[in-house]
Chain A
Amino acid sequence: MSATAFVAATSPRSGGLRRFASQEALLAVAVIGLAVVVGFINPRFLATRNLADILLGNAYIAVAAVGMSMVIISGNIDISVGALIGVLATLSGSMAVAGIPIALCWLTPLIFGVAVMAAQGAVVAYLRIPAIVVTLGMMSILKGGLISVTGGKWITDLPQNFHLADLNLFGAPMPVVIMVVATVLAALWMRYSAAGRAIYATGGNAEAARLCGVNPQRTVVMVFALHGLLAGLAALVYATQLRVIQSTTPPGLELTVITASVVGGVSILGGVGTVVGSTLAAILIAEITSALVFINVSPYWTDALRGALILATVIADIVRRRRRAARGWKR
Chain B
Amino acid sequence: MTAPPASGAALLQVRDIEKTFPGVRALSGVSFEVKSGEAHALLGENGAGKSTLIKIVSGVYEPNSGAILVDGREMHFATPEDAKRAGVATIYQELLLFPELTVAENIFLGHAPRGALGRIDWAAMRAKAEELLASLEIDDLTADMIVGSLSVGNRQRVEILRALSHEARILIMDEPTAALTESDVTRLFDIVRRLKARGVGIVYISHRLDEIFAIADRVTVLRDGAYVGAREVADTNAAELVQMMVGRRIENLFPKMEVPIGAPVLEARDVVRRPMTKNVSLTVRAGEIVGLAGLVGSGRSELAQTIFGVTPAQSGEIRLLGQAVKIESPESARAKGIAYVPEDRSVQGLVRAMSVLHNFSLAALNGLSRWGFIDRGAERRMAERGVERFSVRTSSVDEVAGRLSGGNQQKIVLGKWLANNPKLLILDEPTRGIDVGAKAEIHRLMGELTAAGVAILMISSELPEVLGMSDRVLVMREGRLVAEFDRAHATSEAVGAAMMGGDAHMEKAA
Contact = CB atoms under 8 A, between A and B. Distances in A.
Contacts of A1: none
B407 to A, nearest CB: 8
A209 B374 contact: no
Nearest to A267: B353
B353 A193 contact: no
Range of interface residues on chain A? 20 to 34
A200 B334 CA distance: 20
A307 to B, nearest CB: 26
B396 interface: no
Interface string B364-397: 0110110011101000000000000000000000
Interface in B88-130: none
B451 interface: no
A213 B334 contact: yes
Interface stretch (B40-48, B73-81, B398-406): B398-406
Interface in B125-181: none
A200 B358 contact: yes
B374 A205 contact: no
Contact of A204 (B331, B333, B352, B406): B352
Interface in A162-214: 192-195, 197-198, 200-201, 204-205, 207-214
B293 to A, nearest CB: 23
Nearest to B345: A208
A215 interface: yes
A193 to B, nearest CB: 5
B351 A209 contact: yes
A233 interface: no
Range of interface residues on chain B? 35 or more
A207 B363 CA distance: 13
A140 to B, nearest CB: 28
A95 to B, nearest CB: 33
B310 interface: yes
Interface stretch (A30-38, A106-114, A277-285, A321-329): A321-329
Given A197-B374, A328-B402, A212 B366 contact: no
B373 A194 contact: yes
B404 A205 contact: no
B457 to A, nearest CB: 16
B329 interface: yes
Contact of A271 (B331, B340, B354, B369): B354
B218 interface: no
A204 B329 contact: no
Interface in A57-97: none
Contacts of A208: 342, 347-351, 362
Given A205-B351, A324-B403, A328-B404, A214 B373 contact: no
Nearest to A201: B351
A211 B354 contact: no
A325 B352 CA distance: 9
B348 A192 contact: no
Interface in A270-328: 271-272, 324-325, 327-328
A212 B373 contact: no
A296 B355 CA distance: 46
B374 A194 contact: yes
Nearest to B365: A194
B311 to A, nearest CB: 12
B347 A212 contact: no
Given A194-B373, A205-B352, A212-B330, A328 B363 contact: no
A214 B354 contact: no
Contacts of A198: 365
Nearest to B405: A331
Contacts of A13: none
A328 B353 CA distance: 10
Interface of A: 192-195, 197-198, 200-201, 204-205, 207-215, 267, 271-272, 324-325, 327-328, 330-331
22 contacts: A192-B373, A192-B374, A193-B373, A194-B366, A194-B369, A194-B372, A204-B351, A209-B362, A210-B310, A211-B308, A211-B340, A212-B363, A212-B416, A213-B330, A213-B333, A214-B331, A214-B362, A271-B351, A324-B402, A331-B405, A331-B406, A331-B435
Given A195-B372, A205-B351, A328-B403, 14 more contacts: A197-B365, A197-B374, A200-B351, A200-B354, A201-B351, A208-B347, A211-B330, A211-B348, A215-B329, A215-B331, A267-B353, A324-B400, A324-B402, A327-B403
The 4 nearest A-B residue pairs measured at CB: A204-B351, A328-B402, A213-B334, A212-B363
